[in-house]
């Protein structure tokens, strides 16, 4: 009986030693094999939020914006807006000279929503960019039932077009964004051909006036 107990205790002790030793050993192995920076990059937050993947900035896009292309994008707005000087308010307010104007002021007493009226500030390029990306996110409760323009280039071209209708504020020159300057320049030259297609411009213009 006693012998048996000793044998049992011996094995149990032995097993405990093995387990302990194994634990220490494996922790050493895994410690030495673990890369220094592993484990924290998995979050993905930093990668997604990084500026590198976001493409050119708004000022870079505006520096090479194409007004003719912006006019084509504006075709999505004509159902609700006029943009000629003194044009009537429709479902949405007349947009003549809107760039630089106070948000939610408009012309000839358009009845803006409280959501937009309470917003404050004026329609500078960045504000318009945010508004046109998602009116609902910019001013929750707005009456402008327009989903938004997801492409940054479309928004920049459109803003340049809006700006050319009575506001004519100086657009960014792109000098501030040195790394992107080269890309911006090639875009301008590429777009020059498209800008010269007068027929499409004329078509868009009649659509705007109608
Ligand atoms: C379905 C109709 C509709 C469409 C389409 C639409 N809008 Fe609007 N827009 C409105 C309405 C309504 C308002 C007033 C919003 C409010 O009071 O909340 C408005 C307001 C605005 C304002 C604010 C004007 C000011 O004086 O504060 C701007 C700028 C604007 N729209 C630009 C555009 C552009 C550019 C497009 C095309 C990409 C567009 N909208 C498409 C209906 C529309």
pLDDT digits (tens, 9 = 90+) for 166-201: 999 999 987 554 444 444 444 444 444 444 444 444
Report the candidate in 88, 92, 91 with the shortest Cα–Cα distance to residue 108: 88
**CA 93–ligand 1 middle distance (angstroms):** 7
pLDDT tens string 89-99:
999 999 999 99
pTM over 0.75: no
**CA 29–ligand 1 middle distance (angstroms):** 63
Query: In this structure, what DSSP letter does residue 145 have?
Result: -
Q: What's the CA gap between 141 and 151, in Å, rounded?
A: 23
CATH code (residue 111): 1.10.760.10
Say yes or no: 68 and 38 in one domain: no
Q: 65: which 2 tokens?
A: 């914006």
Say yes or no: 125 and 189 in one domain: yes
Give the range of the structural domain holding residue 167, as residue numbers without chain letter: 57-209
**CA 199–ligand 1 middle distance (angstroms):** 27
Say yes or no: 138 and 63 in one domain: yes
Say yes or no: 106 and 168 in one domain: yes
pLDDT tens string 138-168:
999 999 999 999 999 999 999 999 999 999 9
Which residues approach ligand 1 with their CB closer than 6 A? 76-77, 79-81, 91-93, 95, 98, 101, 103-106, 112-113, 115-116, 123, 132, 142-146, 149, 158
Q: 10: which 2 tokens?
A: 């011996």
Q: How many domains does the chain have?
A: 2
What are the counts of helices (DSSP H) followed by strands (DSSP E) for the chain? Answer: 10, 0
pLDDT score, position 91 = 97
pLDDT score, position 142 = 97
């Amino acid at each position: 009986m006693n012998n048996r107990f000793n044998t049992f205790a011996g094995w149990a002790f032995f097993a405990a030693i093995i387990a302990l030793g194994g634990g220490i050993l494996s922790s050493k192995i895994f410690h030495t094999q673990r890369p220094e920076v592993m484990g924290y990059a998995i979050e993905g937050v930093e990668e997604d939020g990084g500026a590198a993947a976001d493409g050119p900035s708004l000022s870079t896009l505006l520096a090479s914006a194409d007004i003719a292309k912006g006019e084509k994008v504006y075709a999505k707005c004509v159902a609700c807006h006029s943009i000629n000087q003194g044009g009537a308010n429709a479902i949405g307010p007349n947009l003549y000279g809107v760039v630089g104007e106070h948000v939610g002021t408009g012309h000839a007493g358009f009845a803006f929503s409280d959501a937009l009226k309470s917003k404050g500030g004026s329609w500078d390029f960045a504000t318009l960019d945010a508004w046109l990306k998602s009116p609902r996110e910019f001013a929750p409760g707005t009456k402008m039932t327009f989903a938004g323009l997801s492409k940054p280039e479309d928004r920049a071209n459109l803003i340049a077009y809006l700006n050319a209708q009575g506001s004519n504020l100086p657009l960014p020159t792109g000098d501030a964004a040195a790394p992107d300057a080269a890309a911006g320049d090639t875009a301008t030259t590429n777009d020059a051909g498209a800008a010269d297609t007068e027929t499409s411009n004329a078509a868009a213009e009649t659509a705007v006036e109608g």
